[in-house]
Amino acid sequence: MSAESQIQPTKHDFSDIKDKASWAFETLSGMYGPDLAATQLSLEHEAYTLGEERFHKALERQIDRGEFADNATAKHVLTSLVPMMMTAFDNWVEYQVTKVRRKHVGLQFFQMVKSENVAAITVKIVLNTVAKKGPQSVQSLAVALGRGLEEEARFGRIREQEAEHFNKNIRKALNKRNGHTYKVKFLEKVEAHMQEANEIESSWTSWDSVDNDVAYHMGIRLLELLIESTQLVEMKRENAGNVKLDGEFIYLTQAWADKLCNRAFSLAGITPRHQPMIVPPKEWTKMIGGGYWAKGRKPIPLIRVRSKRALQRYRDVSMPEVYKAVNIAQASAWKVNTKVLEVAKAIMKWKRVPIDKFPTADREELPIQPDGIGEDPVVLKAWKKEAAGVYRRDRARVSRRLSYEFIIEQAEKFADYEAIYFPYNLDWRGRVYAIPSFNPQGNDMTKGMLMASVAEPVGKDGIEWLKIHGANCAGVDKVDFSQRKKWVEDNEELILEIARDPLGQPEWTKMDSPFCFLAFCFEWAGVVEHGELWESALPIAFDGSCSGIQHFSAMLRDERGGRAVNLLPSDEVQDIYRLVAEEVIEKVKKDLIEGTEDSVQLITNEKTGEITERRILGTRTLAQGWMGYGISRKVTKRSVMTLAYGSKAFGFTDQVRDDIIQPAIDEGDGAQWFPDAQQCARYMANMIWDSVSVVVVKAVEAMLWLQKAAKLLATEVTATKKTKKNPEPEILKPCMPVYWVTPDGFPVWQEYMKPIQRRVELMFLGTIRLRSTVNIKDSDIIDGPKQESGISPNFVHSQDGSHLRKTVVKASECYGVEFFALIHDSFGTIPAKAGKMFKAVRETMVETYTENDVLDDFREQFMEQLHESQLEKMPPLPTKGTLDISKILESEFAFA
């Protein structure tokens, strides 16, 4: 009887990755010497050993928690065995109903649950159980199966009978609760409330109270059916003759144990944890083979796509400018900023760190239990609510803590190298991403810890750019450049004090980007001491001002929208979030005077006929609440930011509720302003939508136009209507993907396919997707709604990806910039070259939209693909405004 889990995959031998006889070693030795070559290949080898170790740890955690069936190792087993178990169960039930006089004790209960759910629960619970360490008794597993089935029947009826209520009000709250016990307790309360309101048909009677041990007998029957249909497990009697230990135990059959171990072995071998490089990355010349030098188990493609079939499309595509940009970007030499690293290591040990949401080592203490908590249910409920907040924050703390520890561990590991490099590739829309987990596109701590390997004298201009960068890091970025520089000059004493003693002067922790500001302080101390000769390697970034709307405004020459996102020169920084907030305030003020009064809506329960009242807040009440709370740029920011990425009024509702209203209520200040969170959120969402549609009208027009195009392309046109008698009419135009090419030649295929699968949703065991063909991930049927909703964000992301790549090539070839710090709409380099980057990013924006009409090019491509009957449904291109694109060259704040 083994105490070990049967899932024990063997470990890989990755030694070939660092083989000194390999082509990679010989090539690197010739370029950088044998020592660096050996170390680089050891790092690439280590990426696989670290990845395998991480995979095994995650696997062990899931096995210990009884969640093995959720691991990738078991998922293919689950999807292949559930249909087999379902067939066996259906056949047995039919036999019981039609052929057997004395029915199984649990037949009536079995019939309360859909057969596919019965099968999914059986396979999932058995896999979770048999993967655990030590022997698992048949009796305990049978009871667990019976109980699992009863819980599904009991709480599943809430989902089935009141689907709309469940999806709207219960699902999210259920998912927030951790642990099976908490989920059950929560649903018991929901059930009680719904019974009181006559919202579900019946109260629940425990199965075992109807027939003793019925759950056990049902579990035994399910185990028998599973063994007969799948041979997944087997029963063994052990310790015969020993009264205390004698019993029947359940094990995976050897064949299935081997299959699962082999799958775990395969998956562990292709999950590398990629790291920075200590030699320049291998240049990309084709779809596979760039970045890392060794031939790993899982070759990295230039473009991150879902399948080999999708990657094949790019095989014969000529896009020299794209390859050039990625190769220039990944050749940037970096190093670790050891001063920032030492400070970060020190504050990781502090009990309390003033940085917002910094994950300290110790967990937050639970609130002290007040007197009378045992007698007064109101007091108990209030304490529990406060305690739940502590638990919720602690889960987030642990996750962030692990992330911060990993950042520091990687920074320490590479701190002694003169130069490190980050290989890059692209997502399918053309956005540039670093491949290692630790990279310059990370959080503020990561960015603060990295700098260029090669420093250059800052010079007069570099000092001015450094001042602007320092103010930006401090959060002083909504004022003009002269005010930002003055802020640094006025605070120079504090900056130098921080540089001298950052642990003794923690004011830097309160800044907008604390670690980047700390790095600036160290740099500024060098400038103060050495002046223009100070050699600086600090990355200085120019960020787009709400870049999605910038691109839409530029392509449609929208003067008002362009001004709002700083495409036109201005003495003041234009803040689109504040502009929208001001527009909202005007509309809300109008409602204060002319708004509607509160009313009462009578709701009739269709099943019971019971009538209940619901208060409908009038627009005057809603307006009063929002004016009382205050309508600032914070209220509008996220909604406006996500507008260009396809978010609409209903999406704004969730954002406003989650970002503004709920935190205000949690902090004890919101209830007085927001008597009904959902109604208040919906009101503000509609206000923001109406206001932003005025401020950036052309962006909204472009989004709607793109969505219409995608919808028509994804719509099938048939000769006659589909009917039951005519299920397969002649297809005149099939559903089609959306295709376009960016200004620098990157082709984009947007092709969301409907998966060939059936969702089995279980109350406590998650969602299982059963594919009709296990090896096929997607069907060949296009998902029309997803094509429509995805086009706006994907189109604009492809444009900002093109702009970034064009900027890299321009800055390198025309201005000699060799170091790039890039994050989608953020363009960084060292202070000595910052002025040149400032020019390059603007010049490429102007070139992009004067040399290309991206919407017209897109239209030309797809109009030929539409059926003639669809042509009149396609509206004309939105009209262009009067924005002078060349003015971007004179705008200080477009990228600042």
> Confidence band (pLDDT; 50, 70, 90) for 614?
confident
Q: Are 448 and 541 in contact (CB under 8 A)?
A: no
Asked whether the predicted pLDDT for residue 393 surpasses 80, the reply is: no
Quote the pLDDT of residue 775: 36
Q: Name the average pLDDT for the chain.
A: 90
Task: Flag whether pLDDT at 778 surpasses 60.
Answer: no
- Sorted by sequence, the CB contacts under 8 Å of residue 575 that are 6+ apart come out as 478, 633
Query: Which pair of structure tokens corresponds to residue 339?
Result: 């001063």
What string of DSSP letters covers 365-429? PPPPPPTTTTT-HHHHHHHHHHHHHHHHHHHHHHHHHHHHHHHHHHHHHHTT-S-BB--EEEETT
Please indicate whether residue 543 is annotated as part of the active site: yes
How far apart are alpha carbons 888 and 894 in whole angstroms? 7
Task: Give the span between the Cα atoms of 756 and 745, in whole angstroms.
Answer: 33
Structural domain tally of the chain? 3
Residue 617 CA neighbour count, 13 Å, CB half = 22
Asked, for residue 123, whether it belongs to a domain, the answer is yes
Q: Note whether 77 and 106 are same-domain residues.
A: yes
Taking a C-beta distance cutoff of 8 angstroms, is the pair 811, 829 a contact?
Answer: yes
- Domain that residue 110 falls in: 66-162+200-268
On whether both 643 and 657 belong to a single domain, the answer is yes
Is 435:276 a contact under the CB 8 Å cutoff? no
CB-CB contact of 264 with 122 (8 Å) = no
pLDDT at 723: 82
Higher-confidence residue: 357 or 747? 747
pTM, to two decimals: 0.89
Crossing angle of helices 697-713 and 784-815, in 10° steps, is: 120
Question: CA-CA distance, 81 to 88, in Å (whole number)?
Answer: 11
Same domain? 28 vs 100: no
**CA 803 – CA 746 distance, rounded (Å):** 11
**Does the structure show a pLDDT above 60 at 779?**
no
Please indicate, yes or no, whether residues 144 and 60 belong to a single structural domain of this protein: no
- What was the pLDDT predicted at 484? 97
Alpha helices per DSSP H over 177-289: 180-196, 207-210, 214-230, 254-268
pLDDT tens digits for range 7-53: 888 898 888 888 877 899 999 999 999 999 999 999 999 999 999 99
Q: How far is CA 601 from CA 164, 617, 650, 677, in A?
A: 19, 10, 22, 17
Mean pLDDT value across residues 206-217: 85
Separation CA 440–CA 424 (nearest Å):
11
Cα–Cα dist 808/99, whole Å: 76
Q: What is the DSSP letter of 117?
A: H
Catalytic residue (choose from 477, 744, 778, 825)? 825
Q: Which two tokens stand for residue 735?
A: 């559903």
Residue 772: CB atoms within 10 A of its CB come to 11
Please tell me the distance from the alpha carbon of residue 842 to that of residue 819, in angstroms, as a whole number: 18
Short-list 171, 209, 176, CA closest to 190:
171
Q: Is residue 784 part of a domain?
A: no
φ, ψ dihedrals at 839, nearest 5°: -70, -45
Q: Percentage of the chain surpassing pLDDT 90?
A: 67
Q: What is the pLDDT of residue 770?
A: 60
Residues 92 and 32 in one domain: no
Lowest mean pLDDT among 538-547, 717-726, 836-845: 717-726
Residue pointed to by tokens 């309101």: 197
**Residue 776 or residue 345, greater confidence:** 345
Strand locations in 145-185 (E): none
Query: Do residues 99 and 233 share a domain?
Result: yes
Averaged over 602-618, what is the pLDDT? 76
- Let me know whether 585 and 632 are in one domain: yes
Q: Mean pLDDT over residues 247-271, rounded? A: 93
| CATH number of the domain encompassing residue 659 | 1.10.150.20
Three-state DSSP at 642 gives helix
Using an 8 Å Cβ cutoff, are 883 and 558 in contact?
yes
Given this model, what pLDDT does residue 471 score?
A: 98
End-to-end CA distance of the chain: 67
pLDDT at 400 over 80: yes
Among residues 675, 638, 631, 673, the alpha carbon closest in space to that of 653 is found at 638
CA dist., res. 121 & res. 226, Å (int): 11
Q: Classify residue 533 by its DSSP letter.
A: G
Would 45 be classed as within a structural domain?
A: yes
What does each C-alpha distance from 558 to 551, 552, 581, 701, 849 come to in angstroms?
Answer: 10, 8, 20, 11, 12
671 lies in some domain: yes
Distance of alpha carbon 796 from alpha carbon 804, whole angstroms: 12
Task: Specify if 889 maps to a domain.
Answer: no
- Work out the pLDDT band at 674, boundaries 50, 70, 90: very high
Whether residues 615 and 670 share a domain: the answer is yes
pLDDT for position 86: 94
What's the mean pLDDT in 653-670? 86
The winner for highest mean pLDDT among 304-318, 487-501, 613-627 is 487-501
Which residue, of 65, 89, 105, is where some domain finishes?
65
Residues 6+ apart with CB under 8 A from 73: 7, 59, 260, 263, 264, 267
Q: What does the pLDDT average to over 518-542?
A: 98
Question: Which of these three, 268, 288, 319, is where a domain ends?
Answer: 268
Structure tokens at 459: 């010079």
Mean pLDDT along residues 658-667: 85
Give exposure, 518-543, as e/b (b: 16+ Cβ within 10 Å).
Answer: bbbbbbbbbbeeeeeebebbbbbbbb
Q: Which helix (H) or strand (E) holds 51?
A: helix 34-64
Question: Who wins on pLDDT, 524 or 869?
Answer: 524
Do residues 410 and 401 lie in contact, with contact meaning Cβ atoms separated by under 8 Å? no
Residue % of the chain over a pLDDT of 70: 94
Could you say which of 282, 339, 447, 637 is catalytic?
Answer: 637
Asked if 790 and 646 count as a contact pair (C-beta separation under 8 A), the reply is yes
Cβ partners under 8 Å of residue 596, min gap 6: 618, 619, 620
With cut-offs at 50, 70 and 90, classify the pLDDT of residue 377. Answer: confident
With a cut of 70, say whether residue 696 has pLDDT above it: yes
Is residue 43 included in any domain, yes or no? yes
Residue 87 lies in a domain: yes
CA 672, distance to chain mean position in Å, is 34
Which residue bears the tokens 């969702």? 759
Higher pLDDT, 563 or 240: 563
CATH of the domain at 150: 1.10.1320.10
Average pLDDT of the residues in 884-894? 97
- Give backbone dihedrals phi and psi of 253, rounded to 5 degrees, phi first: -70, 155
Token output for 587: 């509309």
Q: Which of 208-222, 440-454, 533-547, 562-576 has the lowest mean pLDDT?
A: 208-222
Note whether 57 and 73 are same-domain residues.
Answer: no
Q: Who has greater pLDDT, 370 or 799? A: 799
Do 32 and 121 fall into the same domain? no
- Is residue 102 domain-shared with residue 24, that is, in the same domain? no
Helix (H) or strand (E) segment spanning residue 602: strand 599-604
DSSP-assigned letters across all residues of 758-826: EEEE-SSS-EEEEESSTT--S-SSB-HHHHHHHHHHHHHHHHHHHHHHHHHHHHHHHH-----EE-SSE
Which among 136, 123, 51 is positioned nearest to 87, based on CA atoms? 123
- Quickly state the pLDDT bin for 773 (edges 50, 70, 90): very low
Name residue 739's beta-bridge partners.
749
Strands 303-304 and 424-427: parallel
What digits encode the pLDDT tens for the residues 34-45? 999 999 999 999
Angle between helices 459-474 and 831-851 (to 10 degrees): 80
122 located within any domain: yes
pLDDT of res. 637: 93
Q: List C-alpha distances in Å: 614 to 680, 686, 861.
A: 15, 21, 52
Residues 91 and 43 reside in one and the same domain: no
Q: Using CA atoms, how far apart are residues 771 and 31, in angstroms rounded to an integer?
A: 50
Of 427, 543, 654, 690, which residue is the catalytic one?
A: 543
pLDDT of residue 772: 44
> Helix, strand or coil for residue 331?
coil
Where does a domain end: 245, 268, 291?
Answer: 268
Specify the 3-state DSSP secondary structure of 752.
coil
Q: Which amino acid is at 848?
A: T
Tell whether the model's pLDDT for residue 388 goes beyond 90: no
CB 473 within 8 A of CB 512: yes
Any long-range contacts for 196-201 (C-beta under 8 Å, 24+ apart)? 197/605, 197/610, 197/612, 198/605, 198/607, 198/608, 198/610, 199/161, 199/162, 199/165, 199/605, 199/607, 200/157, 200/158, 200/161, 200/162, 201/157, 201/161, 201/607
CA–CA separation, 607 and 602 (whole Å): 15
CA dihedral 661, 667, 670, 676 (to 10 degrees): 60
Q: Which of 155-159, 529-533, 702-706 has the lowest mean pLDDT?
A: 155-159
The torsion region of residue 659 among left (phi > 0), alpha (psi -120 to 50) and beta comes to: alpha
